[in-house]
Amino acid sequence: ATAAQTPGSAGRLVVVSNRLPSGDSPSGGLVVALKDSLQRTGGLWIGHSDKGDTGAGSLSFHQGGGFGRASFTLNGAVYDNYYLGFSNTVLWPAFHGRADLMRIAPEYLQAYRRANSRIAKLMIPHLRTADRIWVQDYHLLPLASELRLQGFAGRIGLFLHIPFPSLADCAALPNPADLFEWLSHYDLVGFQTRRDLVNFEDCSSRLSRVQRLDDQRFRLCERKLRVGVFPIGIDSLGFMDEARNADIEDRMRSLTYSSMMIGVERLDYSKGIPQKFRALQTLLENHPELIEKVDLLQVAPPTREDVSAYRDIREETEHLAGRINGKFATVNWTPIRYIHRAIPRNELAGLYRQARVGLVTPLADGMNLVAKEYVAAQDVGNPGVLILSRFAGAAETMQSALIVNPHDPVEMAEAMHRALEMPADERRRRHLALLQEVLEHDVGWWSSSYLATLG
Ligand code: F6P
């Protein structure tokens, strides 16, 4: 162990994530939430960059963004096996209830371990004993154990942005006990929902050595671990402003039907896009009076395209959109407008505000911030209706939405119909309850409650 940490001096917040936020593009919620603490403590955000010398033995420091940013590089094959391989072909499907889509290969796990060990090694010379390290998400689960191995004894927390798997999916991982060994080196592990915490307890008691000490503390693999539920939020006031000020071009306005429904998500198999399209088909079959009256704007930017399951979901989605459009379209109208590109945040905010219905219907999702953005973007006097899958983490706190089972096309179609017909006073009542929740538990609340617990 070779910890070259600077002793003394006040502790800083050190955030580590797979992606380093860029210094110039508009900030996402996470950056907005952490910027103050990073600035105040002279902290640092560390993440991957694909630019630079992959053999470089140190972090590269960057200007811009208003706080310290440092990047690491990894050898191309190691990065692919760590990011596309173990992170997104093993952990992501298992943690989203799709163990059938896992592809287990020994080189994926090896690269995942190697990547985390290298990141820890690059961090160590830049750490101070009093620093608090906040690790983000499933790419970096072994980082605490690697930092401990290399001598860092300060506080380390993890926040898992995605769901914690059920027992069956957890047992399908290669060496499931590793997961608990990795987690046991953190001081605090934060989950999005109570359901994730229950899954963690269930899996750790069956697949590892765990003992409950009290409500929030466990002894896991002979080490003490604190856990907690911290549902992540958005920069609610910022997004409300963005939606109010969005400049939706006239071209869009004239294309927007009186009953536009909107769906926005990366083109990921966990998001339930084909199920949503089938529900729209059922809606048009069961309520033909809605033909030419309602349409779905589906924005689904590409993601992880080098993983075969993502190529398959693209094929399925595009085939289905083509089939439904072919069946129902008229000369003046198409039921599904499908956009396979990212749309700038401010433009999206305006589109959410125009849409009568927000469709957030994943099959599994850690939280789903689109649900919160849709609510924040609405005109409070004449709001749209949120339809929310019971499998989105957001459903735990957003019960005033129309909650649906995305596997049931008839239930989904009836929820769409109900949303489109909903009287204004019911829409306002539901929206107000949701907006209060989104404002009260925004991303600032999330980061400060997590960091207060980390200590
Ligand atoms: O939900 C998990 C997550 O890592 C998010 O934090 C992120 O926005 C999303 O998936 C995108 O994934 P990727 O970094 O693989 O493009």
Give the model confidence (pLDDT) of 258-280 as tens digits: 589 999 999 999 999 999 999 99
DSSP, res 137: S
SS3 228: strand
Give the model confidence (pLDDT) of 150-176 as tens digits: 999 999 999 999 999 999 999 999 999
Give the model confidence (pLDDT) of 31-78 as tens digits: 888 998 899 999 999 999 988 777 778 999 998 888 999 999 999 999
Mutate to test the pocket of ligand 1, among 17, 25, 135, 137 (most ligand atoms within 8 A of CB): 137
- 345 touches ligand 1 (CB under 6 Å): no
- 366 touches ligand 1 (CB under 6 Å): yes
Of all protein residues, the one whose alpha carbon is nearest to atom 14 of ligand 1 is 19
* d(CA 19, ligand 1 centre) in Å: 9
* d(CA 282, ligand 1 centre) in Å: 31
Mutate to test the pocket of ligand 1, among 17, 266, 363 (most ligand atoms within 8 A of CB): 266
Instruction: Of 349, 192, 139, 381, give the one whose Cα is nearest residue 262.
Output: 349
* d(CA 129, ligand 1 centre) in Å: 30
pLDDT higher than threshold 60 for residue 111 = yes
* d(CA 161, ligand 1 centre) in Å: 9
How far is residue 292 from each of residues 285, 287, 302, 409, measured CA to CA in Å?
A: 13, 11, 29, 20
- 431 touches ligand 1 (CB under 6 Å): no
Tokens of residue 272, six digits? 């339930």
For the entire predicted model, the pTM comes to: 0.95
Average pLDDT value for residue range 408-428: 98
What contacts 212, CB < 8 A, 6 or more positions away? 201, 218
**pLDDT grade, residue 2 (50/70/90)?**
very low
- Provide the β-strand partners of residue 15: 45, 134
Tokens of residue 174, six digits? 């290669």
Pairwise CA distance, residues 303 & 312, whole Å: 12
Q: Where are the alpha helices (DSSP H) in 106-228?
A: 106-123, 143-149, 167-171, 176-183, 194-207
Give the model confidence (pLDDT) of 419-450 as tens digits: 999 999 999 999 999 999 999 999 999 999 99
**Residues with catalytic annotation?**
161, 365
- 303 touches ligand 1 (CB under 6 Å): yes
Atom of ligand 1 nearest to the CA of 303: 16
* d(CA 362, ligand 1 centre) in Å: 15
**pLDDT grade, residue 26 (50/70/90)?**
low
**Angle (nearest 5°) at CA 406 between 309 and 348:** 75
Q: Which residue would you say has higher pLDDT here, 29 or 45?
A: 45
pLDDT higher than threshold 70 for residue 250 = no
Per-residue confidence (pLDDT) for residue 51, from 0 to 100: 82
